[in-house]
Structure formats: C-alpha cells, structure tokens
Amino acid sequence: VNKLVINYIVEEMRPICTVKKPAFVKLMEGLSGKKPCDRKTLRSKLEAAKSTVTGYMKEELAKTKYVCTTADIW
C-alpha cells in the first residue's frame, strides 16, 4: 500500500502533506484497512527512491553520446 501511495504522490505531483489529510486517510483506511504511512516515513522512502532513480539515470546518461531535451515553459 505504501508503494502505491508513493507512486500516487510522485506521479500526481501531490504535496507530501496529502497523507495527513482526513479525506485521504479515510480513503486509504476504507480501501486497505490500514492508515497510510506518515509524512516522515513517506519522505524517507521518497529520498531512497530518488537516490535509486538518480543513480540509474547517471549510469544510463554516461553511456549516451547525445542527449536532446525540451521544456514547455509558459
């Protein structure tokens, strides 16, 4: 369940405080019967995931000769 919460927070770009909101807590309890992890736990899991992804990206970019990027900035 916590992994799904992390994926939701990241993919939907939601603030970490989402896990404290009463409606979110009720939703999680209703669906899984468990409370979602607290902000402190979520933050540490996000940091660990970030480190893993950052390391992977650095390895992949080191193997790449060219990189093309774009940005949609208004």
Q: What is the model's pTM?
A: 0.65
In a domain, 65, yes or no: no
Q: How many domains does the chain have?
A: 1
In a domain, 57, yes or no: no
In a domain, 59, yes or no: no
Domain, as residue range, for 28: 1-41
Helix or strand or coil: residue 27? helix
Q: What is the pLDDT of residue 73?
A: 87
| Distance separating alpha carbons of residues 22 and 48, to the nearest angstrom | 26
Please list the pLDDT of the chain residue by residue as tens digits (74 residues): 788 888 898 889 999 999 999 999 999 999 988 888 888 998 998 998 889 999 999 999 999 999 898 998 87
